[in-house]
Structure 1
């Protein structure tokens, strides 16, 4: 990653280059990322190929001023952190569904980050509504965050005897995803990204989403034509946008995304 690319990324986040790769600087970078770079799956429905290449990911965030889903967001963020002097490792995860079953291998990408002050963190700017700040990787007790109470716990083996040494990440006591602790390369996630962007069984092909954290600690989410806002104190409002002009205005003014036409779900039918 060149110095110019680092500067462009930091301009997108609205932050100056940290003097040292400290834990405090990581927390600010993490929160700024969640506030400025949306979690979105528009590429899936716009017919845009998702390529897990560092240059392509950086260009999407800095030049196109877009967001992405976990592979893109954490892939790009990990590249930035490494360029700033952090020690970064990519971790593969499997996401729990509503029934408590785990998804496909390489279902999720998260980051293990070591700082100059000797701390190790679980950073994740690509899971949608999740922790606003990095979680202490080695801490097994509950961790309070503006987004709720989180915990990183030892997972234990599954019924087939697999997964010993894995970690479960919990929010409000409910498992969100399971992480392997072995470091991976960005290319390892290509099959997962392909599946999520093409399979009719993937929730990313079934719906549109564009979401980010707001300055007051709440969240704004556009799902198709449904706009949902939650304030930092928990107040919620949901409304249906009636015209294409309203939808495009929200993409532009709330997420910084310029579109020429309103995206629509390309693969709405789930086939078992």
Structure 2
């Protein structure tokens, strides 16, 4: 991996040591520089989890990606910088204990020299920084644990907690996510097949573009508006840094029963 090029891509400097402070700075820089996006799904470009392919896409071509790509490559960068990183296969977890497919999401557990963290730069630009890996309320994120199952919840604008991803600490490698990566790209029941999206963090919140609706969250205030296809193309380049070389296809409606 070209560490210097990756750090330049996110506008971050080489940390002197793998500390919690440097991890936080890297996380903040990443979510403000690299968009969470799935336009390859809609332009017919296969998504590879090969590390070299991820580096070409995210660092060289300055594109974004979804969780397997963003957390996958960021985890490899953190290892190069001296952090201890564990890839975990996250899943949805209903209030009644029903689990979704394992590996629907890739999340990172990161140990710095002075703390343990949950890291997620592939979560729709919703986490501006890492979250302490211990049960409790940490700002807008709540961490829970029940035996070997951990999960997080996020505080929404109305003050309510919305359950997020769950996981166990079993270590994974990128290749373990190959099957779910294929599902996310091609299955009509996949949220990514049915939803064209981009999101990136800003100093005051977050912007997103979902199926032609541009939304901006700034200082707790949300606005949104529909945009035409030609404006969507321009917004992708101007606000998200996503420059496409082919037009996207019409989104596939989800099948009944998905």
Q: TM-score, normalised by structure 2?
A: 0.92
Give the equivalent residue in structure 2 for 1:267.
252
User: Equivalent of 1:28, from 25, 29, 36?
Assistant: 25
Matches within 5 A, 1:18-167: 18-96=15-93, 102-117=99-114, 119-137=115-133, 139-144=134-139, 149-155=140-146, 164-167=147-150
User: Could you tell me which residue of structure 2 aligns to residue 158 of structure 1?
Assistant: none
Residue 220 of structure 1, CA deviation: 0.6
Q: State the Cα RMSD in Å.
A: 1.9
Contact 1:205-1:266 at 8 Å conserved across structures: yes
Q: Which moved more, 1:256-265 or 1:62-71?
A: 256-265
Q: 2-side partners of 1:99 and 1:269: how far apart? A: 25
SS at match of 2:168: strand
TM-score normalised by L of structure 1:
0.87
Q: 1:256 aligns with which of 241, 245, 251?
A: 241
- 2:225 corresponds in structure 1 to 239
**2:202 matches 1:214:** yes
Structure 2 unaligned blocks of 5 or more: 156-160
Q: Distance in 2 between matches of 1:270 and 1:76?
A: 32
1:12 aligns with 2:46: no
Alignment CA distance shift 1:258-1:97 (3 Å):
farther
Look up the SS of the partner of 2:169 in the other structure. Answer: strand
Matched position secondary structure for 2:188: coil
Q: Structure 1: which 5+ runs fail to align?
A: 156-163
TM-superposed CA distance for 1:95, in Å, is: 2.5
Deviation string 1:21-68 (CA, Å, 9 cap, x unpaired) is 110010011011111101111111111111111111111111111111
User: Structure 1 segments of 4 or more deviating over 4 A?
Assistant: 96-101
Q: Give the Å deviation of 1:97.
A: 7.2
SS at match of 1:183: coil
Structure 1 residues 165-184: aligned runs within 5 Å = 165-172=148-155, 173-184=161-172
Shift of 1:267: 2.3
Whether the 8 Å contact between 2:36 and 2:125 is mirrored in structure 1 is: no
